[in-house]
Amino acid sequence: MSCTRTSRASALAAMLACLGLLAAACGGGRSSTTGETTPSTTGASKGEVVQFGDLPSPCGPGTPTGAPDFGITADMINIAYGDDAGFLATPGRGHEATDAMRAMIGWCNEQGGINGRQLVGDYYDAKITEVNNVMTEACAKDFALVGQAWALIAGAEPIRQGCGLPTVPAITTGADVVNAPLMATPIPQPVDYNNVAGWAQIAEKFPEQVKKTAIMQPNFPAVIDYTQRFTGTVDTVGWGFLDCTQVYPIGGVADYRPYLQKIKECGATAVFTTDVGTNFSNMLDAAQQIDFHPIWTNTTTAYEQQFADWNVNGNGDQLYVGNVMVPLDHTPEGSANAAYVDLVTKAGGDLSYSGQQATSAFLLWATAAAACGNELTRSCLMDQLHGIHSWTAGGLQAAQDPGANMPGSCALVMKLTGTSYVQWAPAEEGQFACNDAWLVKVDPPIDSAAALKLVDRVATNHTAG
Protein backbone atom coordinates (compact mmCIF):
# COMPACT_ATOMS: atom_id res chain seq x y z
CA MET A 1 0.00 0.00 0.00
CA SER A 2 1.18 3.52 -0.51
CA CYS A 3 0.23 6.25 1.92
CA THR A 4 0.83 9.91 1.23
CA ARG A 5 3.10 11.67 3.68
CA THR A 6 2.44 15.34 3.16
CA SER A 7 0.11 16.62 5.88
CA ARG A 8 -1.68 15.86 9.13
CA ALA A 9 -4.91 15.61 7.14
CA SER A 10 -3.35 12.87 5.09
CA ALA A 11 -2.12 11.13 8.23
CA LEU A 12 -5.64 11.27 9.67
CA ALA A 13 -7.10 9.80 6.53
CA ALA A 14 -4.50 7.06 6.49
CA MET A 15 -5.25 6.17 10.10
CA LEU A 16 -8.98 6.02 9.41
CA ALA A 17 -8.20 3.45 6.72
CA CYS A 18 -5.90 1.37 8.91
CA LEU A 19 -8.06 -0.02 11.68
CA GLY A 20 -8.82 -3.64 12.60
CA LEU A 21 -6.00 -5.49 10.90
CA LEU A 22 -5.14 -2.01 9.64
CA ALA A 23 -4.54 -2.86 6.04
CA ALA A 24 -6.60 -0.53 3.91
CA ALA A 25 -4.54 1.09 1.21
CA CYS A 26 -4.07 4.58 -0.09
CA GLY A 27 -2.33 6.05 -3.10
CA GLY A 28 -2.95 7.41 -6.59
CA GLY A 29 -6.17 8.87 -8.00
CA ARG A 30 -9.28 6.89 -8.93
CA SER A 31 -12.66 7.67 -10.46
CA SER A 32 -15.77 7.78 -8.28
CA THR A 33 -18.29 6.27 -10.66
CA THR A 34 -20.60 3.40 -9.75
CA GLY A 35 -22.13 0.53 -11.64
CA GLU A 36 -19.05 -0.58 -13.58
CA THR A 37 -18.95 -3.80 -15.55
CA THR A 38 -15.46 -5.21 -15.15
CA PRO A 39 -13.77 -6.43 -18.33
CA SER A 40 -12.13 -9.82 -18.65
CA THR A 41 -8.44 -10.27 -17.84
CA THR A 42 -6.58 -13.53 -18.20
CA GLY A 43 -8.14 -16.94 -17.93
CA ALA A 44 -7.77 -20.42 -19.35
CA SER A 45 -8.35 -21.94 -22.73
CA LYS A 46 -11.59 -23.83 -23.21
CA GLY A 47 -11.57 -27.07 -21.26
CA GLU A 48 -8.49 -26.23 -19.21
CA VAL A 49 -8.69 -26.71 -15.45
CA VAL A 50 -8.01 -23.36 -13.82
CA GLN A 51 -6.22 -23.11 -10.48
CA PHE A 52 -5.49 -20.19 -8.19
CA GLY A 53 -2.45 -21.57 -6.43
CA ASP A 54 -3.72 -24.86 -5.01
CA LEU A 55 -7.37 -23.72 -5.07
CA PRO A 56 -9.47 -25.01 -7.98
CA SER A 57 -11.21 -22.06 -9.56
CA PRO A 58 -14.80 -21.62 -8.33
CA CYS A 59 -15.68 -19.97 -11.65
CA GLY A 60 -16.95 -21.67 -14.77
CA PRO A 61 -19.77 -22.16 -17.25
CA GLY A 62 -23.28 -23.40 -16.64
CA THR A 63 -26.86 -23.19 -17.87
CA PRO A 64 -28.42 -20.85 -15.32
CA THR A 65 -32.15 -20.25 -15.15
CA GLY A 66 -34.43 -18.01 -13.16
CA ALA A 67 -33.73 -15.23 -10.68
CA PRO A 68 -33.42 -16.98 -7.31
CA ASP A 69 -32.67 -13.89 -5.20
CA PHE A 70 -32.25 -10.14 -5.19
CA GLY A 71 -29.48 -8.91 -7.48
CA ILE A 72 -29.50 -12.09 -9.58
CA THR A 73 -30.99 -12.73 -13.01
CA ALA A 74 -30.73 -15.76 -15.25
CA ASP A 75 -27.60 -14.22 -16.77
CA MET A 76 -25.93 -12.00 -14.14
CA ILE A 77 -25.03 -11.50 -10.50
CA ASN A 78 -24.54 -7.96 -9.24
CA ILE A 79 -21.92 -7.61 -6.51
CA ALA A 80 -20.82 -4.42 -4.80
CA TYR A 81 -17.27 -3.42 -3.95
CA GLY A 82 -15.44 -0.16 -3.36
CA ASP A 83 -12.97 2.07 -1.59
CA ASP A 84 -12.54 5.67 -0.38
CA ALA A 85 -10.66 6.92 -3.45
CA GLY A 86 -12.56 10.20 -3.63
CA PHE A 87 -11.52 11.42 -0.19
CA LEU A 88 -9.79 14.72 -0.95
CA ALA A 89 -7.14 14.53 1.77
CA THR A 90 -5.75 11.29 0.31
CA PRO A 91 -7.15 10.79 -3.20
CA GLY A 92 -7.00 7.22 -4.43
CA ARG A 93 -7.23 5.64 -0.97
CA GLY A 94 -7.96 1.94 -1.04
CA HIS A 95 -7.59 1.56 -4.77
CA GLU A 96 -5.40 -1.56 -4.58
CA ALA A 97 -8.35 -3.52 -3.16
CA THR A 98 -10.48 -2.20 -6.00
CA ASP A 99 -7.78 -3.09 -8.54
CA ALA A 100 -7.80 -6.64 -7.21
CA MET A 101 -11.59 -6.91 -7.33
CA ARG A 102 -11.70 -5.71 -10.93
CA ALA A 103 -9.03 -8.18 -11.96
CA MET A 104 -10.69 -11.09 -10.18
CA ILE A 105 -14.15 -10.33 -11.57
CA GLY A 106 -12.65 -10.26 -15.07
CA TRP A 107 -10.76 -13.52 -14.41
CA CYS A 108 -13.95 -15.19 -13.24
CA ASN A 109 -16.10 -13.90 -16.10
CA GLU A 110 -13.62 -15.15 -18.66
CA GLN A 111 -14.12 -18.65 -17.29
CA GLY A 112 -17.91 -18.33 -17.51
CA GLY A 113 -18.78 -16.52 -14.29
CA ILE A 114 -20.40 -18.34 -11.38
CA ASN A 115 -22.13 -21.41 -12.79
CA GLY A 116 -22.64 -19.52 -16.03
CA ARG A 117 -23.88 -16.24 -14.56
CA GLN A 118 -21.64 -13.31 -15.44
CA LEU A 119 -20.56 -11.02 -12.60
CA VAL A 120 -21.38 -7.33 -12.76
CA GLY A 121 -19.18 -5.39 -10.36
CA ASP A 122 -20.81 -2.26 -9.00
CA TYR A 123 -18.13 0.09 -7.71
CA TYR A 124 -18.92 2.54 -4.91
CA ASP A 125 -16.64 5.33 -3.71
CA ALA A 126 -17.47 6.01 -0.06
CA LYS A 127 -15.01 8.93 0.21
CA ILE A 128 -14.71 7.91 3.88
CA THR A 129 -17.62 10.09 5.04
CA GLU A 130 -20.25 8.91 2.52
CA VAL A 131 -20.37 5.25 3.48
CA ASN A 132 -24.06 5.41 4.48
CA ASN A 133 -24.95 6.75 1.03
CA VAL A 134 -23.11 4.05 -0.88
CA MET A 135 -24.41 1.31 1.40
CA THR A 136 -27.94 2.49 0.66
CA GLU A 137 -27.19 2.33 -3.08
CA ALA A 138 -25.75 -1.17 -2.77
CA CYS A 139 -28.79 -2.31 -0.82
CA ALA A 140 -30.99 -1.23 -3.72
CA LYS A 141 -29.02 -3.10 -6.37
CA ASP A 142 -26.63 -5.82 -5.26
CA PHE A 143 -26.75 -9.43 -4.17
CA ALA A 144 -23.68 -9.18 -1.92
CA LEU A 145 -20.86 -6.87 -0.88
CA VAL A 146 -17.43 -8.33 -1.66
CA GLY A 147 -13.82 -7.26 -1.12
CA GLN A 148 -14.56 -3.69 -0.10
CA ALA A 149 -12.05 -1.40 1.66
CA TRP A 150 -14.18 1.26 3.35
CA ALA A 151 -12.54 2.80 6.40
CA LEU A 152 -15.72 3.76 8.26
CA ILE A 153 -17.95 0.88 7.24
CA ALA A 154 -19.02 0.30 10.85
CA GLY A 155 -21.25 3.37 10.69
CA ALA A 156 -23.29 1.78 7.90
CA GLU A 157 -23.91 -1.54 9.63
CA PRO A 158 -27.54 -0.70 10.53
CA ILE A 159 -28.25 -0.06 6.84
CA ARG A 160 -26.48 -3.20 5.61
CA GLN A 161 -28.07 -5.49 8.14
CA GLY A 162 -31.44 -3.82 7.70
CA CYS A 163 -31.54 -4.71 3.99
CA GLY A 164 -30.07 -8.18 4.51
CA LEU A 165 -26.95 -7.56 2.39
CA PRO A 166 -24.28 -10.24 2.97
CA THR A 167 -20.69 -9.04 3.13
CA VAL A 168 -17.29 -10.65 2.58
CA PRO A 169 -15.01 -7.67 3.24
CA ALA A 170 -11.33 -7.23 2.54
CA ILE A 171 -11.05 -4.77 5.42
CA THR A 172 -12.89 -5.04 8.73
CA THR A 173 -12.87 -2.00 10.99
CA GLY A 174 -14.76 -1.46 14.22
CA ALA A 175 -16.35 -3.74 16.76
CA ASP A 176 -19.74 -3.58 15.03
CA VAL A 177 -18.21 -5.13 11.91
CA VAL A 178 -15.80 -7.80 13.13
CA ASN A 179 -18.52 -9.89 14.85
CA ALA A 180 -21.41 -8.83 12.62
CA PRO A 181 -24.12 -11.14 11.30
CA LEU A 182 -24.36 -11.79 7.55
CA MET A 183 -20.57 -11.47 7.40
CA ALA A 184 -17.61 -13.73 6.71
CA THR A 185 -14.09 -12.53 6.08
CA PRO A 186 -10.92 -14.34 4.96
CA ILE A 187 -8.94 -12.90 7.87
CA PRO A 188 -11.21 -12.85 10.93
CA GLN A 189 -10.46 -10.35 13.67
CA PRO A 190 -13.22 -10.80 16.23
CA VAL A 191 -13.32 -8.87 19.46
CA ASP A 192 -12.79 -11.98 21.57
CA TYR A 193 -9.81 -13.82 20.00
CA ASN A 194 -6.44 -12.75 18.67
CA ASN A 195 -3.68 -14.42 16.67
CA VAL A 196 -0.39 -13.67 18.48
CA ALA A 197 1.87 -15.70 16.16
CA GLY A 198 3.83 -12.71 14.89
CA TRP A 199 4.27 -11.26 18.35
CA ALA A 200 5.44 -14.65 19.66
CA GLN A 201 8.22 -14.81 17.09
CA ILE A 202 9.38 -11.28 17.93
CA ALA A 203 9.37 -12.15 21.63
CA GLU A 204 11.43 -15.27 20.97
CA LYS A 205 14.21 -13.18 19.43
CA PHE A 206 13.92 -10.24 21.87
CA PRO A 207 12.69 -11.79 25.14
CA GLU A 208 14.03 -9.09 27.44
CA GLN A 209 13.15 -6.08 25.29
CA VAL A 210 9.47 -6.97 24.90
CA LYS A 211 9.00 -7.26 28.66
CA LYS A 212 9.31 -3.46 28.82
CA THR A 213 6.97 -2.36 26.04
CA ALA A 214 5.38 1.08 25.90
CA ILE A 215 2.30 2.03 23.87
CA MET A 216 2.18 5.06 21.56
CA GLN A 217 -1.51 5.35 20.70
CA PRO A 218 -3.65 7.76 18.65
CA ASN A 219 -6.85 8.74 20.42
CA PHE A 220 -9.36 6.95 18.19
CA PRO A 221 -11.88 4.29 19.34
CA ALA A 222 -11.11 1.57 16.78
CA VAL A 223 -7.36 1.98 17.34
CA ILE A 224 -7.94 1.69 21.07
CA ASP A 225 -9.98 -1.49 20.46
CA TYR A 226 -7.13 -3.05 18.50
CA THR A 227 -4.55 -2.06 21.12
CA GLN A 228 -6.67 -3.61 23.85
CA ARG A 229 -6.85 -6.86 21.91
CA PHE A 230 -3.07 -6.72 21.55
CA THR A 231 -2.30 -6.02 25.21
CA GLY A 232 -4.97 -8.50 26.35
CA THR A 233 -3.32 -11.45 24.58
CA VAL A 234 0.40 -11.04 23.93
CA ASP A 235 1.31 -11.36 27.59
CA THR A 236 0.80 -15.10 26.94
CA VAL A 237 3.93 -15.09 24.75
CA GLY A 238 6.18 -13.02 26.96
CA TRP A 239 5.25 -9.39 26.40
CA GLY A 240 4.96 -6.99 29.31
CA PHE A 241 3.74 -3.40 29.37
CA LEU A 242 4.94 -0.32 31.20
CA ASP A 243 2.50 2.05 32.85
CA CYS A 244 3.41 5.03 30.67
CA THR A 245 1.15 4.79 27.61
CA GLN A 246 1.25 7.94 25.50
CA VAL A 247 -1.96 9.05 23.76
CA TYR A 248 -2.06 11.85 21.21
CA PRO A 249 -4.58 13.27 18.69
CA ILE A 250 -5.53 11.07 15.74
CA GLY A 251 -4.18 13.67 13.30
CA GLY A 252 -0.73 13.53 14.88
CA VAL A 253 1.37 16.18 16.62
CA ALA A 254 4.04 18.60 15.44
CA ASP A 255 6.66 17.18 17.81
CA TYR A 256 6.75 13.62 19.13
CA ARG A 257 9.86 14.15 21.22
CA PRO A 258 8.05 14.98 24.50
CA TYR A 259 5.95 11.81 24.21
CA LEU A 260 8.95 9.67 23.37
CA GLN A 261 11.05 11.21 26.12
CA LYS A 262 8.47 10.06 28.65
CA ILE A 263 8.54 6.44 27.52
CA LYS A 264 12.33 6.54 27.27
CA GLU A 265 12.54 7.72 30.89
CA CYS A 266 9.98 5.03 31.76
CA GLY A 267 12.55 2.42 30.70
CA ALA A 268 10.91 1.22 27.48
CA THR A 269 12.99 -1.14 25.32
CA ALA A 270 10.16 -1.85 22.87
CA VAL A 271 7.37 0.33 21.49
CA PHE A 272 4.06 -0.72 19.97
CA THR A 273 2.07 1.69 17.82
CA THR A 274 -0.72 1.45 15.27
CA ASP A 275 0.23 4.72 13.58
CA VAL A 276 1.18 4.96 9.93
CA GLY A 277 2.43 7.30 7.23
CA THR A 278 3.61 10.76 8.23
CA ASN A 279 2.82 10.26 11.88
CA PHE A 280 4.92 7.12 12.15
CA SER A 281 7.89 8.37 10.15
CA ASN A 282 7.94 11.57 12.21
CA MET A 283 7.83 9.46 15.35
CA LEU A 284 10.80 7.38 14.26
CA ASP A 285 12.78 10.48 13.30
CA ALA A 286 12.01 12.03 16.68
CA ALA A 287 13.23 8.90 18.48
CA GLN A 288 16.59 9.22 16.76
CA GLN A 289 16.81 12.88 17.78
CA ILE A 290 16.56 11.98 21.48
CA ASP A 291 18.90 8.96 21.14
CA PHE A 292 16.07 6.48 21.83
CA HIS A 293 16.56 3.11 20.10
CA PRO A 294 13.90 0.55 21.09
CA ILE A 295 12.50 -2.36 19.12
CA TRP A 296 9.52 -1.00 17.16
CA THR A 297 6.42 -3.08 16.38
CA ASN A 298 3.38 -2.18 14.35
CA THR A 299 0.46 -3.79 12.56
CA THR A 300 0.69 -5.01 8.98
CA THR A 301 -0.46 -1.59 7.79
CA ALA A 302 3.14 -0.44 8.09
CA TYR A 303 4.11 -3.01 5.45
CA GLU A 304 3.94 -0.75 2.37
CA GLN A 305 6.56 0.27 -0.14
CA GLN A 306 6.19 4.02 0.11
CA PHE A 307 6.92 3.84 3.81
CA ALA A 308 9.97 1.67 3.04
CA ASP A 309 11.08 4.25 0.46
CA TRP A 310 11.16 6.86 3.25
CA ASN A 311 13.67 4.83 5.27
CA VAL A 312 16.80 6.01 3.44
CA ASN A 313 18.24 7.23 6.76
CA GLY A 314 17.71 3.85 8.47
CA ASN A 315 15.57 5.31 11.27
CA GLY A 316 13.04 2.52 10.70
CA ASP A 317 15.52 -0.35 10.66
CA GLN A 318 14.25 -1.77 13.97
CA LEU A 319 10.65 -2.11 12.79
CA TYR A 320 9.01 -5.56 12.86
CA VAL A 321 5.48 -6.34 11.67
CA GLY A 322 3.52 -9.57 11.69
CA ASN A 323 1.93 -10.75 8.45
CA VAL A 324 -0.60 -13.49 7.66
CA MET A 325 -0.31 -13.04 3.87
CA VAL A 326 2.55 -14.30 1.71
CA PRO A 327 5.07 -11.45 1.18
CA LEU A 328 4.25 -9.49 -1.95
CA ASP A 329 7.58 -10.21 -3.63
CA HIS A 330 7.43 -13.98 -3.03
CA THR A 331 5.99 -15.29 -6.30
CA PRO A 332 7.08 -18.87 -7.08
CA GLU A 333 5.68 -20.17 -10.35
CA GLY A 334 2.20 -21.57 -9.90
CA SER A 335 1.69 -19.99 -6.48
CA ALA A 336 -1.41 -18.06 -5.43
CA ASN A 337 0.62 -14.91 -4.92
CA ALA A 338 2.09 -15.22 -8.41
CA ALA A 339 -1.48 -15.49 -9.73
CA TYR A 340 -2.52 -12.39 -7.78
CA VAL A 341 0.47 -10.37 -9.01
CA ASP A 342 0.01 -11.53 -12.61
CA LEU A 343 -3.74 -10.88 -12.80
CA VAL A 344 -3.64 -7.44 -11.20
CA THR A 345 -0.56 -6.30 -13.10
CA LYS A 346 -1.98 -7.40 -16.45
CA ALA A 347 -5.21 -5.56 -15.63
CA GLY A 348 -3.20 -2.36 -15.03
CA GLY A 349 -3.64 -2.32 -11.27
CA ASP A 350 -1.35 -1.76 -8.28
CA LEU A 351 -0.27 -4.32 -5.70
CA SER A 352 -0.57 -4.19 -1.93
CA TYR A 353 -1.44 -6.17 1.16
CA SER A 354 -5.02 -4.89 0.97
CA GLY A 355 -5.19 -6.08 -2.63
CA GLN A 356 -4.21 -9.57 -1.46
CA GLN A 357 -6.98 -9.41 1.13
CA ALA A 358 -9.54 -8.35 -1.49
CA THR A 359 -8.42 -11.22 -3.72
CA SER A 360 -8.87 -13.67 -0.87
CA ALA A 361 -12.30 -12.17 -0.07
CA PHE A 362 -13.41 -12.57 -3.69
CA LEU A 363 -12.25 -16.19 -3.85
CA LEU A 364 -13.98 -16.96 -0.54
CA TRP A 365 -17.25 -15.44 -1.77
CA ALA A 366 -17.01 -17.13 -5.18
CA THR A 367 -16.28 -20.54 -3.63
CA ALA A 368 -19.38 -20.30 -1.46
CA ALA A 369 -21.54 -18.89 -4.26
CA ALA A 370 -20.49 -21.61 -6.70
CA ALA A 371 -21.38 -24.32 -4.18
CA CYS A 372 -24.99 -23.12 -4.21
CA GLY A 373 -25.39 -24.07 -7.86
CA ASN A 374 -28.19 -22.54 -9.91
CA GLU A 375 -30.32 -21.73 -6.86
CA LEU A 376 -27.96 -19.13 -5.47
CA THR A 377 -29.60 -17.26 -2.60
CA ARG A 378 -28.27 -15.11 0.20
CA SER A 379 -29.28 -17.76 2.71
CA CYS A 380 -27.40 -20.47 0.81
CA LEU A 381 -24.38 -18.18 0.42
CA MET A 382 -24.15 -17.58 4.17
CA ASP A 383 -24.66 -21.29 4.93
CA GLN A 384 -21.79 -22.15 2.60
CA LEU A 385 -19.55 -19.44 4.01
CA HIS A 386 -20.22 -20.62 7.55
CA GLY A 387 -19.18 -24.12 6.49
CA ILE A 388 -15.68 -23.09 5.36
CA HIS A 389 -13.33 -23.72 8.29
CA SER A 390 -9.90 -23.84 6.66
CA TRP A 391 -9.08 -21.11 4.20
CA THR A 392 -5.77 -20.12 2.57
CA ALA A 393 -7.06 -18.70 -0.76
CA GLY A 394 -4.97 -21.25 -2.58
CA GLY A 395 -1.87 -20.47 -0.53
CA LEU A 396 -2.14 -16.68 -0.58
CA GLN A 397 -2.40 -16.50 3.22
CA ALA A 398 -1.97 -18.46 6.42
CA ALA A 399 -4.91 -20.71 7.26
CA GLN A 400 -7.93 -19.06 8.90
CA ASP A 401 -11.41 -20.20 9.94
CA PRO A 402 -13.86 -17.77 8.30
CA GLY A 403 -16.85 -20.04 8.95
CA ALA A 404 -16.45 -19.74 12.71
CA ASN A 405 -15.07 -16.17 12.55
CA MET A 406 -11.88 -17.38 14.21
CA PRO A 407 -8.35 -16.20 13.42
CA GLY A 408 -5.63 -18.68 12.62
CA SER A 409 -2.56 -19.42 14.69
CA CYS A 410 0.15 -18.79 12.10
CA ALA A 411 2.12 -15.76 10.90
CA LEU A 412 5.44 -14.63 9.55
CA VAL A 413 7.31 -11.45 10.46
CA MET A 414 8.55 -8.74 8.10
CA LYS A 415 11.47 -6.45 8.99
CA LEU A 416 12.21 -3.07 7.44
CA THR A 417 15.85 -2.91 6.37
CA GLY A 418 16.82 0.20 4.45
CA THR A 419 14.22 0.75 1.76
CA SER A 420 13.03 -2.86 1.61
CA TYR A 421 10.88 -5.14 3.68
CA VAL A 422 12.30 -8.65 4.04
CA GLN A 423 10.89 -11.74 5.70
CA TRP A 424 12.67 -11.98 9.04
CA ALA A 425 10.98 -15.04 10.55
CA PRO A 426 10.66 -17.88 9.81
CA ALA A 427 13.90 -18.05 7.86
CA GLU A 428 12.35 -19.73 4.80
CA GLU A 429 10.66 -17.13 2.63
CA GLY A 430 6.92 -17.56 2.23
CA GLN A 431 6.62 -19.98 5.15
CA PHE A 432 4.57 -19.32 8.30
CA ALA A 433 5.27 -20.34 11.87
CA CYS A 434 2.27 -21.97 13.58
CA ASN A 435 1.30 -23.01 17.07
CA ASP A 436 -2.21 -23.73 18.37
CA ALA A 437 -1.31 -21.88 21.56
CA TRP A 438 -0.94 -18.67 19.56
CA LEU A 439 -4.71 -18.32 19.12
CA VAL A 440 -5.56 -16.56 22.38
CA LYS A 441 -8.83 -15.47 23.96
CA VAL A 442 -8.82 -11.74 24.70
CA ASP A 443 -8.66 -11.23 28.46
CA PRO A 444 -9.81 -8.85 29.73
CA PRO A 445 -12.42 -8.23 27.00
CA ILE A 446 -12.01 -4.98 25.09
CA ASP A 447 -14.13 -2.10 26.32
CA SER A 448 -16.39 -1.97 23.25
CA ALA A 449 -17.25 -5.68 23.45
CA ALA A 450 -19.73 -5.13 26.28
CA ALA A 451 -21.83 -2.89 24.03
CA LEU A 452 -21.99 -5.47 21.24
CA LYS A 453 -24.67 -7.69 22.80
CA LEU A 454 -22.94 -10.83 21.59
CA VAL A 455 -25.08 -13.95 21.21
CA ASP A 456 -23.06 -17.01 20.21
CA ARG A 457 -20.23 -14.60 19.34
CA VAL A 458 -22.43 -12.66 16.88
CA ALA A 459 -23.27 -9.00 17.51
CA THR A 460 -27.00 -8.33 17.84
CA ASN A 461 -26.88 -4.54 17.95
CA HIS A 462 -28.72 -4.11 14.65
CA THR A 463 -31.62 -5.95 13.12
CA ALA A 464 -30.59 -8.22 10.27
CA GLY A 465 -32.89 -8.53 7.28
Whether the per-residue pLDDT at 357 is higher than 90: the answer is yes
Question: Which residue, 72, 94, 67, is CA-closest to 83?
Answer: 94
Would you place residue 265 in the very low, low, confident or very high pLDDT band (cuts 50, 70, 90)?
very high
* The pLDDT of residue 26: 33
Q: Are 350 and 424 found together in one domain?
A: no
Number of domains in the chain: 2
In a domain, residue 10? The reply is no
Mean pLDDT of 400-406: 98
Give the pLDDT confidence of 15-36 residue by residue, as tens digits: 444 443 343 333 333 333 344 5
User: Which of residues 5 and 99 earns the better pLDDT score?
Assistant: 99
Q: Are 112 and 36 found together in one domain?
A: yes
Q: Are 116 and 248 found together in one domain?
A: no
Q: Are 157 and 206 found together in one domain?
A: no
* The pLDDT of residue 12: 44
Question: Which residue, 82, 93, 126, 81, is CA-closest to 13?
Answer: 93
Would you place residue 452 in the very low, low, confident or very high pLDDT band (cuts 50, 70, 90)?
confident
Residue 169: other Cβ atoms inside 10 A: 27
Report phi then psi at 226, rounded to 5: -60, -45
CA angle, 172 as apex, 171 and 175 as ends, to 5°? 165
Q: Are 300 and 373 found together in one domain?
A: no
Surface-to-core class of residue 88, CB atoms within 10 Å of its CB (0-12 exposed, 13-18 middle, 19+ buried): exposed
Q: Are 285 and 426 found together in one domain?
A: yes
Whether the per-residue pLDDT at 307 is higher than 50: the answer is yes
* The pLDDT of residue 34: 45
What is the percent of the chain where pLDDT is above 70? 88
Q: Are 123 and 215 found together in one domain?
A: no
Whether the per-residue pLDDT at 121 is higher than 60: the answer is yes
CA 363/CA 365 separation, integer angstroms? 5
Report phi then psi at 420, rounded to 5: -135, 145
Mean pLDDT of 110-118: 98
Whether the per-residue pLDDT at 97 is higher than 90: the answer is yes
* The pLDDT of residue 281: 94
| CB neighbour list of residue 414: distance below 8 Å, 6 or more residues apart | 303, 320, 321, 322, 323, 327, 421, 422, 423, 424
* CATH label of the domain that carries residue 349: 3.40.50.2300
Mean pLDDT of 110-125: 98
Measured over the CA atoms of residue 254, residue 257, residue 260 and residue 265, the dihedral's sign is negative
CA 446/CA 354 separation, integer angstroms? 25
In a domain, residue 1? The reply is no
How does strand 454-455 pair with strand 458-459? antiparallel
CA 7/CA 120 separation, integer angstroms? 37
Average pLDDT, the chain: 88
* The pLDDT of residue 25: 32
Would you place residue 154 in the very low, low, confident or very high pLDDT band (cuts 50, 70, 90)?
confident
Would you place residue 161 in the very low, low, confident or very high pLDDT band (cuts 50, 70, 90)?
very high
User: Which of residues 59 and 301 earns the better pLDDT score?
Assistant: 59
Q: Is 212 helix (H, G, I), strand (E, B) or coil?
A: helix
Whether the per-residue pLDDT at 279 is higher than 70: the answer is yes
Q: Are 229 and 339 found together in one domain?
A: no
Its pTM stands at: 0.89
Which residue range(s) make up the domain with 65? 19-192+331-397+454-459
Question: Which residue, 19, 61, 280, is CA-closest to 151?
Answer: 19
Strands of 109-254 (E only): list them: 118-125, 144-146, 167-168, 193-195, 213-218, 246-248
In a domain, residue 13? The reply is no
In a domain, residue 3? The reply is no
Surface-to-core class of residue 134, CB atoms within 10 Å of its CB (0-12 exposed, 13-18 middle, 19+ buried): buried
Give the pLDDT confidence of 212-246 residue by residue, as tens digits: 999 999 887 777 888 989 999 999 999 999 999 99
Q: Are 269 and 341 found together in one domain?
A: no
In a domain, residue 252? The reply is yes
